[in-house]
Amino acid sequence: MNRWRPAAILAVFAALTVPLMPLQQLFVWTWPGMARIFPMYYHRLVCRILGVRLKIVGEAPRLGPTLIASNHVGWLDIVILSAVAPLSFIAKREVNGWPFFGSLARLQRTVFVDRDRRHATGNSRDEMQERLKAGDILVLFPEGTSHDGHEVLPFKSSFFGAAEYEGVVVQPISIAYSGHRNLPMPRRLLPLYAWYGDMDLAPHLWEALKTGPIEVTVVCHPPLSLNGEMNRKALARHAEEQVRRGVALALHDPAKLG
């Protein structure tokens, strides 16, 4: 059964996704409000197709301007967060050129940034601020890379400057791949779902689909804002602490999450 599971899932995914891509493009051109929320309902269906069961703790954002600061485990984070709220992502510029996945990113109105060129950071921050001023919810992965999902790397504070616009809140969100087939997720299985380092996407995706359904805990922490003595670096540090605590509790002591 597992042998054919990835092929069946990918076939159903393609049958759902390909016809909906031109519809989302039409929304982007003519109906911005629907272009924001349509991907959320689409990704909820994708979660069901992939066998991802979500447990959401706390209040997910529904309206912007909100900058989500989340840990980053791999490609599945995109599906997970998109199923939780009507949002767009901040991604490295290389994603724009990826076959197929780059098209999906553009359809979700992704903001592409150049993390490796210091002078480009200001331009990217300005674009992020314009989107936030328009009331969008944007997702920032401030670790700057993905990892094995068992810990949280230090947050980089540079793009938190986009939250300096009045009225913008930063909401820390923890993603924890917490269960496998209704049992706690063994650490040895995490690399089958976490995409990081020099892993090739295609074989990794195939193995993840073959290994079976998983449970993911998404912890939505209370929003933060730049006010008083809370500067950009302090904001990044506080968000990092909240996200790290959420991941640790979801993996090791979920009863304390409430």
Question: Distance between CA 150 and CA 85 in Å, rounded?
Answer: 24
pLDDT in tens, 42-89: 999 999 999 999 999 999 999 889 999 999 998 899 999 999 999 999
pLDDT reported for residue 81: 97
Over residues 102-129, mean pLDDT: 79
Q: Where are the domains of the chain?
A: 5-257
Could you tell me how far CA 97 lies from the centroid of its own chain? 19
Output the pLDDT for position 69.
96
177 three-class SS: strand
DSSP string, 24-83: HHHHHHH-HHHHHHHHHHHHHHHHHHHTEEEEEESPPP-SSSEEEEE---STHHHHHHHH
- Given a cut of 70, is residue 8 above it in pLDDT? yes
The model carries a pTM of 0.92
Give dist(CA 206, CA 109) in Å, integer: 27
Peptide bond into 142 cis (omega under 30): no
Condensed to tens digits (0 to 9), the pLDDT of residues 205-243 reads 888 888 878 999 999 999 988 776 678 888 999 999 999
Q: Using 50, 70 and 90 to split pLDDT, how confident is the model at 1?
A: very low
